[in-house]
Amino acid sequence: MAKDIQQLDLFIQSLNKEEEVSQETTFQAFTVSDLETAAEAQRRISYFYERMAEIDAVTDNQIEPFQAKIDRIKEWGEQAKQEYVDRVNHYSLLLEAYIREQVAEQQTNGKKAKKSIKLPYGSIALKKQQPEFIKNEDELLEYARQAELVKVKETADWAAIKKVSRIHEGKMYDQNGEVVPGVDVVERADKFELKIE
């Protein structure tokens, strides 16, 4: 473990040295003015992407041994807790049986059932639950249609509206030349896209 920490420290120190060197380097004024300089700018971007990918690979390789150890420790923790989880479940079942027995006894004696018991370390209780509904969606939908209990959500068919409309001077017009209400058209500049192959 100490060896792994030393390796991680050395790695972090090497990254810090690279950062110091790159901060000391001053960028030369570079402008894109023709195809040659555009190609050069793209080549440099490609190089920077490759360097970032190398750094990601080194980072992943440095994290990997620690991640395996972390996963192993977590797995050990879950296994170590399992006997206590089993015991919690066992005693919980005993407490549930006890409170159900107490409620049944109270109901048998004609008393109003007290469904909670305070104990020194907390309380136990029986809480009424909502019923579980197991639905057959097809049969239920058919019933809802006949009883007119179907929910329908209406939305504008934007694709169809765009298909039959035209844009002119910041407005959208339908095929009859009428302005389409509820639509403001905001022209935007072309979006820059960079593809590195």
Greater model confidence, 21 or 182? 182
pLDDT tens by residue, 149-188: 888 888 899 999 999 999 988 889 999 999 999 888 988 8
Domain boundaries, the chain: 2-125, 152-184
CA distance 106 to 104: 5
Q: At what angle are helices 35-108 and 2-24 packed, to 10 degrees?
A: 140
Does the pLDDT value for residue 195 go beyond 80? no
Q: Which helix (H) or strand (E) holds 52?
A: helix 35-108
Asked whether 172 and 180 are in contact (CB, 8 A), the reply is yes
What is the mean pLDDT of the segment spanning 130-135? 87
Q: What are phi and psi of 117, to 5 degrees?
A: -135, 125
Q: Rounded distance, CA 96 to CA 84, Å? A: 18
Residue 24: per-residue pLDDT: 47
pTM here? 0.47
Which of 105-114, 120-129, 186-195 comes out lowest in average pLDDT? 186-195
Q: Which two tokens stand for residue 83?
A: 């006997």
